[in-house]
Structure 1
Amino acid sequence: MLIRLALLFAILLIGSATVLYLITRDPRYQRFVWRVVRLMAYVLLIFGALYLLERYGLVAWMVLV
């Protein structure tokens, strides 16, 4: 639920910054979009790694115990 909310917020930020860039042609908005995209990629990679660890690492640990 929290990841979906963060993705929705990021999509809204990216969309609004893109529209503002198209209107004003100010490069600050492009940099902001790139930062948001990078941040969301890092967050998704971290949550994906945690999910895989929980799904496969802990299950394998319980089999050994």
Structure 2
Amino acid sequence: MLILRLFFVLVILLVVLGGGMYIFTRDRRYLRFAWQTVRFAVLVLLVSGLLFVLERYVLTGWRVFL
């Protein structure tokens, strides 16, 4: 969980910095970078959530049958 928290703090910093750089330079590549960062963070969140559900319910439930 600590790694996920640090990851999302880094994501927030990258999105804020990308937005700030866009405001200062008006270069749209910084907005594209921020958007890609958000998409990657959502993907990591979905994968980690899926792994959590897999560990919590599927593998624990499987142990009941053994």
What is the one-letter code of the residue matched to 1:47?
Answer: S
Q: Structure 2 matches for 1:1-65, cutoff 5 A?
A: 1-65=2-66
Supply the RMSD in Å over aligned alpha carbons. 0.5
Total equivalences in the alignment: 65
What is the distance in 1 between the residues matched to 2:18 and 2:33?
7
Q: Percent identity?
A: 43
What is the distance in 2 between the residues matched to 1:20 and 1:38?
19
What is the distance in 2 between the residues matched to 1:30 and 1:16?
10
Q: TM-score if structure 2 supplies the norm length?
A: 0.95
Q: TM-score if structure 1 supplies the norm length?
A: 0.96
